[in-house]
């Protein structure tokens, strides 16, 4: 049965239509929608691949400047999940706000969740964690090793054990989903060498916007507009999305991919391996190592967006590939902004200078470059030495243009130097 009694042909498309707002980048709404589906599925559906089992939990970061609509996008999806918890699934675990490693472990003490499938009762422990502001979330990692804990929970092992000071925690069949908004500035804290090396970064999906303009606050009527006073038409739209999500939340069991879907996935995977092996940068490899895993999660999400039978078609693979390629193409920007965020490191300064020339078309007036550097807040006494070093390394070329204009020209793509 491809379609049962759902309101919408495709949940994701309808969520995008519902969320559409000229100020919020569509990539935010798309990933909020996918993350919401992932939260609704918990750990009750899976995809086998040889000896590996994949679950649909995702770690999504919406990355943009302040006021680009991260929180309002997250709110639209999370509201549906919170309603599901309140009305239908009181045992559903949804956490928001600042969270510590101990706080997360404390949740493991709660009642055990179960679902029945094929006449068997299966215990599991699934949590959905969201926060509109990364710098105010557990990802700050200030207390205890929060990031190491969530890295382990992402992989959905059969059992998770943790010993903290006086307590031991153990939980069966854990899974964690994450949806957090963050600024570029926060990325440098998050993407220090340890989290890239430690594997958290490869599990994260970075949905990025370059939009600079800030969104006006939608609730501009200052208290005149109650949340529930959305137009009746929009309320009906939200109700219909919610009903379909409730039905998606009831799905259990294993996905099956159609043969043509498997073939298409295999072709993509071949290309991915070639591109991956050609990457010179250790950091970029670490960022992209789980691209196939995230693609498989997307296959599950696109399947349940339109059907209840857990079938994965060629069309789902096509759409998932477009989605994962679009979102990972900016990974180098994520890494370089984390690297340039460290103004004291030589590498950060090198990247800043090369990325500035790149942004300006690859060839730039030297005095403009210098002005940009001092605006960046770099140590001015290190500027000339760094440029000299970049020239000697064959990364940058400096020359005198007509009109006595001294210029700097980029000789390599700085993304390859990460």
Q: In terms of pTM, does the model score above 0.75?
A: yes
62-108 pLDDT, tens digit each: 999 888 889 999 999 999 999 999 999 999 999 998 888 888 888 88
Q: Is the pLDDT of residue 203 over 70?
A: yes
255-300 pLDDT, tens digit each: 999 999 999 999 999 999 999 999 888 888 888 999 999 999 999 9
pLDDT-based confidence at residue 4 (cuts at 50, 70, 90):
low
Half-sphere exposure of 372 (CA within 13 A, CB side): 17
- What's the mean pLDDT when you consider all of the chain? 88
Under DSSP, the state recorded for 20 is -
381-414 pLDDT, tens digit each: 999 999 999 999 999 999 999 988 999 999 998 8
Q: What string of DSSP letters covers 221-264? A: TTTSS-GGGS-HHHHHHHHHHHHHHHHHHT--EE-EE-HHHHHH
| Cα–Cα–Cα angle for 52, 58, 64, rounded to 5 degrees | 145
Q: Do 252 and 115 meet the contact criterion of CB atoms below 8 Å apart?
A: yes
pLDDT at residue 215, as a whole number? 55
Q: Do 187 and 336 meet the contact criterion of CB atoms below 8 Å apart?
A: no
């Amino acid at each position: 049965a491809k379609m049962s009694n759902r309101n919408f042909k495709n949940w994701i498309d309808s969520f995008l239509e519902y969320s559409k707002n000229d100020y919020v980048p569509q990539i935010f709404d798309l990933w909020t929608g996918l993350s919401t589906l992932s939260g609704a599925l918990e750990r009750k559906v899976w995809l086998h691949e040889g000896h590996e089992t994949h679950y649909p939990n995702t770690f999504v970061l919406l990355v943009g400047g302040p006021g680009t609509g991260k929180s309002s996008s997250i709110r639209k999806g999370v509201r549906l999940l919170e309603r599901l918890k309140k009305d239908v699934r009181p045992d559903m675990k949804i956490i928001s706000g600042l969270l510590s490693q101990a706080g997360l472990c404390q949740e493991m003490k709660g009642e055990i969740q179960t679902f029945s499938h094929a006449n068997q009762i299966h215990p599991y422990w699934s949590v959905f964690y969201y926060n509109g502001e990364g710098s105010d979330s557990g990802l700050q990692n200030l207390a205890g090793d929060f990031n190491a804990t969530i890295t382990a929970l992402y992989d959905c092992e059969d059992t998770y054990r943790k010993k903290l000071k006086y307590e031991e925690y153990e939980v069966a069949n854990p899974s964690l989903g994450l949806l957090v908004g963050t600024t570029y500035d926060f990325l440098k804290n998050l993407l220090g060498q340890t989290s890239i090396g430690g594997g958290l970064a490869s599990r994260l999906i970075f949905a990025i916007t370059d939009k600079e303009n800030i969104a006006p606050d939608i609730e501009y009527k200052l208290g005149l507009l109650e949340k529930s006073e959305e137009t009746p038409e929009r309320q009906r739209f939200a109700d219909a999305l919610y009903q379909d999500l409730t039905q998606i939340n009831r799905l259990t069991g294993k996905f099956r991919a159609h043969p043509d879907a498997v073939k298409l996935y295999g072709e993509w995977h071949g290309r991915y391996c070639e591109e991956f092996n050609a990457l010179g940068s250790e950091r970029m490899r670490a960022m992209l190592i789980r691209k196939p895993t995230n693609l498989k999660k997307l296959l599950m999400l696109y399947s349940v967006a339109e059907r209840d039978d857990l079938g994965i078609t060629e069309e789902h693979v096509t759409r998932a590939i477009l989605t994962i390629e679009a979102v990972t193409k900016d990974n180098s920007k994520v890494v370089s902004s984390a690297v340039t965020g460290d103004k004291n490191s030589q590498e950060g300064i090198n990247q800043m200078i090369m990325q500035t020339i790149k942004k300006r078309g690859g060839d730039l007036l030297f005095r403009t470059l210098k002005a940009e550097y001092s605006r960046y807040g770099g140590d001015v006494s290190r500027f000339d030495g760094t440029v000299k070093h970049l020239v000697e390394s064959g990364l940058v070329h400096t020359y005198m243009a007509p009109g006595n204009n001294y210029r700097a020209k980029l000789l390599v793509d700085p993304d390859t130097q990460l």
